[in-house]
Structure formats: structure tokens, C-alpha cells
Amino acid sequence: MAVKVYIPTTLRIFTNQRSEINLDGDTVGQIIETLADEYPEIKKALYDDDKKTLRSFINIFLGDDNIKNLDGYQTPVKDGDEIMLIPAIAGGSPLESILGEVKGEKLSNDEIMRYSRHLLLKEVGIKGQKKLKAAKVLIVGLGGLGAPLAQYLAAAGVGTIGLIDYDEVEESNLQRQVIHGTRDIGRPKVASAKDSIKQINPLVKVETYNMPLNAENAVDLIGKYDVVADASDNYQTRYLVNDTCVLLGKPDVFGAMYQFEGQATVYYAKEGPCYRCLYPAPPPKGLVPSCAMGGVVGVLPGIIGTIQANEVIKLIVGGGEPLVGRLWMFDAWHMRLKDLKICKDPNCPVCGENPTITEVEDYDYDGFCGVAQEQDEEEPVEGIEAKELKRRLDNGEKITIIDVREPHERAIVRFLDAKAIPIGQLGRRQDELDPNVDTVFVCKEGKRSILAVNTLREEGYKGPMYNLKDGINAWAREVDPSMPEY
């Protein structure tokens, strides 16, 4: 039976960039096994071990249903069915306002004029606008998702907006982080965003936190707000926000994106599943690249961030159908939209029937997400500085340089006479390397090159291997200023 399998962007490095593959089989398990047989490199992404145990950060949907809620791998398929692999990057019923009744708030004549288009909507009206004015929303992260979130929530009249981020504005941010401008380069993102919000709506109170969110401050910070909008870009923060919201009874309005694909949902344990229900564990460190490594089309965070803002507004006003128990999946390049049903996991360690996570202060988020994995579980990857590599090359030493970037990225800037082998091909092409010669792996900023070294170690390659520290961008800064950074 011919079944169409949709491959997400993050896994396409293992399928020669194919996004749709037609495969034959009678069950979901047979289809996935056939996929792994045809594309052996994808096994390391799909399975935890040789027993073909699916990794916790990947969900498989048959149509609109997670196979966890069907018969798992034994779920039968029929001709024309569609299977989607949903890794972590991705009909409800109306909910009452999370604020309940709001008393004492009044709208001035100026506010009535400013928000008149809301007031004309019977679903919002005076009562809903007063709730927006009384509401407090914390936005975690002021990058691509946080930018439209902050702008539209400010324009909507949310009374207090908290902004937490500890990065500074960089030139490469401006392609999508539209809350910042060229003059803001080098400024803290929270300061730049606050200025923009005040330009949009001076009536909004803005609280800024130029610091990372961590297990020590999360409960105090999140406890001050009614809703959290998660616009972060790392797994430690996503799990931390989720767990804190569950323990405090707050909704977590979630968004994620990569290249052309985005996800949005509302994790609200009082009404449905949380993030851990869908993704019990994160992907192994380095397997799923960030937007800084893989890129993102500039308009995508605007779309996903605006969806998040819409969900925040619905939760505050009440009466709408938020994305609780639903995962909104969007593919901007192929213009596809999926609305998938997700369910609460009774065994979830934080919102399940017998929770084991009861205090975020006692939980090791860095260890859980593999931040310390390289030191604890893997032999450290030896790096080489850009200037040291230049010195050795100038001395005529024989060194093999492998560029693990994809072809379209190598077109941005080529690195010396490096041999091109994308990460997804390293396992089957290791015989092209000389184990008697030092091999240096290069990528944009020295992260994928570490993954490349570990990939070859797992495949049994014994030759000396190094990663170029901080990648090609470091070479451009320290060795060859004529090369562009990107």
C-alpha cells in the first residue's frame, strides 16, 4: 500500500533533502522500517538504540492522530494515507477568561478611541478590553517570535508586558526581529523592545529583565504574570517554562520555528497536555540545529509569533477556542497547514497522575537537555583555533579539511579547498578520509562540526579529528577579514 511520508526540515539532511517519500507497508512500523532501510543515516535521528525504540523527541502522526493514541507501530495503514514525523523544534472547546471577572478597571476616552475596533467585536467588547488592560503577560525571548508577540500584545492593550532576554541586538537579527532597528545594534534586546512598545502604545507598562531565565528565578518571575508566551530558542528554557507554568497553574503559549516550518500550541495542564506530554525528552545535543545554524525565512516568525499573540488574547478575553490540545503546524514554503490533536500523558512527570517533578529549583535542566552531555557521556572533541590552523597550513602540513555545510550554504562563502561532505553523508563516505592525516571539520560557527566528529566516532572512524573552533566566522574575523560573516 502506497503511503506518503512527510519529512520535516530538520530530518531532511538524512533523506537527501526530500520532503515527501512514498513507501509501501501494511502498518506504521513497516513504513518507518522501510524509510530507515532506504535512508540508513536517519536511524540515528529516529532510534535510541538498535532495538528501534523511537526517540522521545519525535512523534509520528497518521493523518491527524498521534500513533501513541492508536495502536503504535502496529497501527494499520491504507493506500493514500499520510504519515508525518513531528520532531521537537512542533477541535478544542471555548475557555473562560483565565482572569475571571475583572472589577475596577475603566477605559478612558482615549483608550476607547485607541481600541475601538476591538470594542466593536461582541467577542471582545468593553469587558474583554478591560481584561486585556488588567492582564500581565511575560514574553520569554525577544528574537523572531518575541518581536511580533510584543508588538501585537502592546497594540492590543495588554496592561503589563514583561520582557526577559539577555542578548544584544545583532545585525543578522534584523532580517526577522522587526521590533529592533539598525540603530539598536549592540543594545540589550529588552531595552530596544521596550522603546518600540512605547512607540506603539505608551499606555502599556513594560517590565524588563536583562537576564537569563533559570531554575532559581523562574518561579518568582513567572508567578507575577497571568500568561507566559514562550518565544525562547533552546530546550532548557522550553522545559523550564513548561514545568514552572504547570506547577503554578499558568498557561504556556508556545511557538517554535526552523527554516520554513513553524509550530504553535497552548500548553495548559489545567485543560490539556503540557510540553512534556508531547516531548518527554529533548533531542540529543546537536542533532536538531538552531535557526542560527540552519536559517529561517524572515516572515515565518512573524506568522508564528502573531498566532501566539492571538492565543494570548483569547486566553485573556475568554470565549474563544485556544490551541489547548492542538498542535498548529505550518509549512511556509509549501503553504501547508495542519491542526493536529495532542493528548495528555497520564505518565507525564510534571502534569501526570503521579508527578515526580514538583520543584523546578531541584531539577537539572542543563543535564536533562544534554548541555553537559559532552563532558559527562562523550569523549571531548578537540578543537583548533583559526590562527593555529592557518599557521599549520602555511607550514605546509598535510591536513584534510571537511566542510559539513549544505550546498546552498557553501554558496554564501567557500572555505579554502575544503572537501564538501554534509553531515548526513559522513557515515557512508568515511572511506574518503585518510585515518593517517589530521582531519578538520568546519561549519558556520563550530557546532555542527562537533556533531560531525561525534557522528564519525559512532561509525567507528579512528583517525585524528578536530573541529574549527567558532567555525568559518572565526576564520573571517581572525584570519581573513575579506570573507563575510553570516
Share of the chain above pLDDT 90, in %: 63
The answer as to CATH 3.10.20.30 being correct for domain 2-87 is: yes
pLDDT band of residue 364 (cuts 50, 70, 90) is confident
pLDDT digits (tens, 9 = 90+) for 126-169: 999 999 999 999 999 999 999 999 999 999 999 999 999 999 99
Over residues 96-103, mean pLDDT: 87
**Cell digits for 398?**
598535510
pTM higher than the cut 0.75:
no
Using the predicted structure, report yes or no on whether residue 53 has a pLDDT greater than 80: no
Check if the beta carbon of residue 305 is closer than 8 Å to that of residue 176.
Answer: no
Task: For residue 443, indicate whether it is catalytic.
Answer: yes
CA–CA distance, 403 with 395 (Å, rounded to integer) = 21
Q: In Å, how far are 383, 385, 467, 480, 486 from 477, measured between CA atoms?
A: 17, 12, 17, 7, 11
Domains 135-374 and 378-478 share a fold: no
State residue 451 phi and psi, 5-degree precision. -60, -40
Computed over every residue of the chain, the mean pLDDT equals 89
User: Among 132, 131, 140, 147, which residue's Cα sits nearest to residue 184?
Assistant: 147
pLDDT digits (tens, 9 = 90+) for 424-445: 888 889 999 999 999 999 999 8
Domain boundaries, the chain: 2-87, 135-374, 378-478
Within 10 angstroms of residue 300's Cβ, the number of other Cβ atoms is: 23
Query: Does residue 67 or residue 274 have the better pLDDT?
Result: 274
Of residues 245, 348, 351, 443, which has the active-site annotation? 443
Reported CATH class of domain 378-478: alpha beta
CA–CA distance, 265 with 340 (Å, rounded to integer) = 10
Task: Report the pLDDT value the prediction gives residue 288, as an integer from 0 to 100.
Answer: 57
Looking at residue 484, what DSSP letter applies? P
Task: For residue 291, indicate whether it is catalytic.
Answer: yes
Reported CATH class of domain 135-374: alpha beta
Of residues 277, 291, 348, 351, which has the active-site annotation? 291
